[in-house]
């Protein structure tokens, strides 16, 4: 259930290095029972893994699959900084300069906008309008 607000916020916190339940709860404001359920779901879905750090306490780490959400999370942060917040609560920097998420074509290196896209159905029996209707 990655599309859930608490799941996305929990993933963001783990990405930022806040791996303990108490840190994630404090920084997201999520109700503890709801956060526990979301973390369990994220572990079951293979986005996070739990590692013990004390007898019955765990830390959460992004899996390879979870790390691939980096671009999604930074895109959401960039959007939020533009449309939700007057001042960005967290800046993302690379070698001392601020970054914003953008989509770049791997082949030519150009920034891609929605107007630049050509959509091609790659699913057998489907078109861009949905499943092929048989008469």
Give, for 127, the enclosing helix (H) or strand (E).
strand 126-127
Domain ranges of the chain: 5-67, 70-113
Buried b (16+ CB within 10 A) or exposed e, 83-99: eeeeeeeeeeeeeeeee
What pLDDT does residue 101 have? 85
What pLDDT does residue 1 have? 55
Percentage of residues in the chain with pLDDT exceeding 90?
A: 69
Average pLDDT of the chain? 92
Give, for 53, the enclosing helix (H) or strand (E).
strand 48-54
How far is the CA of 106 from the CAs of 15, 68, 120, in angstroms?
A: 24, 16, 18
Output the CA torsion sign for 17, 19, 24, 26: negative
Q: What does the chain come to in residues?
A: 135
- Cα torsion 128, 103, 38, 82 to 10°: value is -110
What pLDDT does residue 81 have? 87
Q: Is the domain 5-67 a CATH 1.10.10.10 member? A: yes
**In whole angstroms, what separates CA 72 from the centre of its chain?**
5
What pLDDT does residue 26 have? 95
pLDDT digits (tens, 9 = 90+) for 37-95: 999 999 999 999 999 999 889 999 999 999 999 999 999 888 888 899 888 888 889 99
């Amino acid at each position: 259930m990655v599309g859930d607000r608490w799941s996305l916020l929990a993933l963001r916190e783990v990405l930022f290095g806040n791996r303990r339940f108490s840190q994630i709860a404090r920084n997201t404001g999520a109700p503890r029972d709801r956060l526990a359920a979301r973390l369990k779901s994220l572990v079951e879905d293979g986005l996070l893994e739990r590692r013990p750090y004390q007898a019955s306490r765990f830390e959460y780490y992004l899996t390879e699959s979870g790390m691939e959400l980096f671009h999604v999370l930074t895109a959401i942060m960039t959007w939020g900084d533009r449309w939700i917040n007057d001042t960005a609560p967290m800046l993302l920097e690379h070698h001392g300069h601020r970054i914003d998420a953008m989509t770049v074509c791997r082949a030519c290196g150009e920034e891609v906008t929605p107007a630049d896209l050509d959509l091609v159905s790659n699913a057998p029996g489907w078109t861009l309008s949905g499943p092929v209707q048989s008469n």
